[in-house]
Each structure stands twice: as C-alpha cells, then as structure tokens.
Amino acid sequence: MVMEPQSSAEIKAATGWVIALSIGLLVLGAVAILMPGVALAVFTAMLGWLVLIGGILQIVQAFQAGALGGKWLGLGVGAFYAIAGLYIVINPVKSAAVFALALGLLFIAEGIFTIIMAFGYRVGRSMSWFVAINGIFTLILGILVINGWPMRSLWLIGLYVGISLLFSGASLLGAALAVRKEIA
C-alpha cells in the first residue's frame, strides 16, 4: 500500500489534535497524581462498567450465535463477566484492594525476573546495570505494596494511572512537536 504524501498544512492540523490530546493527558495525569483516590475511584468504576457491559454483550451474542453452537458456554462466560462487573461497580473499594494486591504480586515477580535477566542474560548489554536497577526498584515497590496492603496501597493504582497518563502525554507531545519541527 502506497501512501500519498501529505501537505504541511494537513500535518500541522493532525499534529494540532495530537498536541491537544497530549496536553489533556498531561493535565489528567497531574490530577491523578495529586488526587490518587479520585483517579482510583474513576479507574475502578470505568473498569467495572466495561466488564459489566462486556458480559451483557457476550450474553446477547450467545443468543445470536445459538445456531453455531457454544450457546451455553457463551452464556456462562457472559454471566461471569456481568457478575464480576457488577461486583466491581457495587464494591469499588474491595475491588481496588484486589487490584492493588495483584499489582503488588506482579511487581515482585517482575522485579525478580528483571534482576535475573539483567545479570543472567546481560539484557541491554552495556545498559544491563540500568535494567538491574529497574528490577530492584520494581521489587521494592512490590514489597511496599504488599506490606501496606490493603488500605495503604490503594493510592498506588491512582498514582500509576496518573504516571501512565503523564508519560503517554509527554511522549505524544514530544512526537508531535518533532514532526512539526521536521516540516518547518
């Protein structure tokens, strides 16, 4: 597939939208970092609704695809999704505590495996020391999350959502500005 070259006006218009999006992500990230409890509540509610709606759609799809077979399996999976989504929506604090526990365990495992990779396989060649430091920090973060679980670790999800939004916004902004600089 051959793409037609775009004019600099089209590129500026497209990057303008990307810049606006990136600024929005930066603002949302800063708000999430400053108010991780609010970010946690929003994230948990959104996830709960997505799972609930996904379950309902799977149930509807199971009835639609009944002639293809697997109707009962589709109904069962859809029902489990819907029940889980409803539980998350009704019990956001308990659900967030489970998310925090899962993240803490994930960080511990990731930290251990990253440290092993850094020393065992010299991942990143000359930068393997940086990979090892990343693994150590990730391991420590996981231990802190598990140590403070459940209540003291709830801020973690909101904080990480904020950090993720900040990095996404910053990387999009950098890319858009780089493209604009090239065409100028």
Q: How far apart are CA 19 and CA 39, in angstroms?
A: 23
**Banded model confidence at residue 176, pLDDT cuts 50, 70, 90:** confident
Q: Is 5 helix (H, G, I), strand (E, B) or coil?
A: coil
Q: Give mean pLDDT, residues 9-21.
A: 86
- Measured between alpha carbons, how far is 151 from 89 in angstroms, rounded to an integer? 18
User: pLDDT above 70 covers what percent of the chain?
Assistant: 91
Report whether pLDDT(1) > 70.
no
Higher pLDDT, 51 or 103: 51
Distances (CA, A) of 85 to 12, 18, 63, 72, 98: 41, 32, 20, 20, 14
Residue 126 has pLDDT above 80, yes or no: no
Average model confidence (pLDDT) for the chain?
85
- pLDDT tens digits for 35-72? 988 888 888 899 999 999 999 999 999 888 766 667 88
Per-residue pLDDT reduced to its tens digit, 142-170 = 898 899 888 777 788 788 888 888 888 88
In the predicted structure, residue 131 carries a pLDDT above the cut 90: no
Q: Is 154 exposed, middle or buried (0-12, 13-18, 19+ CB in 10 A)?
A: buried
> If we measure between CA atoms, which residue out of 113, 137, 136 comes closest to residue 123?
113
